[in-house]
Amino acid sequence: MKNCTLDYNDCTNKKTHCRKCTRSTDPGKGELTDHYVSPLDQVNKIYEFLHGFKPKLSYKKAFSVIYFLQEHIRCLPDHIEQCQDCLELFDADKEGFCLSNDYELDGKDLPEKYHGHWCDNCVPAVDFQMK
């Protein structure tokens, strides 16, 4: 065993792990358990931290800070989205929908009321199609 010296974000590469790991750096060994934090968990921790601020930030405002860190500072993965209905975060690479004019409903542009990010539980129950 030797401590890996890789940057934190390299933890998502299953052949490597973060600098706090004590697992072998041999790609065939070890599991992503020690100090592995998934991108969704990383953003969720910041999300809850921001929501717990005094004065308290709403979940929408907390996510606007996360959005800034994702899109302008680029220090957080940008595939973590906030469901516009339940406000839960989800990994858009694995679940949920980002509805926009790229979709249609009954052969017409998808109405704007359906646009936005939706988790699997809250996605509108209409028969939208990718254009």
**Contact footprint for Zn ion (CB under 5 A):** 83, 85-86, 119, 121-122
Residue 85 beta carbon to Zn ion: minimum distance, rounded to whole angstroms: 5
By C-beta, is 30 or 97 nearer to Zn ion?
97
Residue 129 beta carbon to Zn ion: minimum distance, rounded to whole angstroms: 21
Element (H, E) at 51: helix 39-51
By C-beta, is 24 or 121 nearer to Zn ion?
121
Sequence letter at residue 30:
G
- 3-state DSSP call for residue 82? strand
Produce one character per residue of 69-104: b if its CB has 16 or more CB atoms within 10 Å, e if not: ebeeeeebbebbbbbeeebebbbbeeebbebeeebe
Q: Judge contact between 104 and 83, C-beta under 8 A.
A: no
Residue 96 beta carbon to Zn ion: minimum distance, rounded to whole angstroms: 8
By C-beta, is 25 or 100 nearer to Zn ion?
100
By C-beta, is 86 or 98 nearer to Zn ion?
86
Residue 44 beta carbon to Zn ion: minimum distance, rounded to whole angstroms: 14
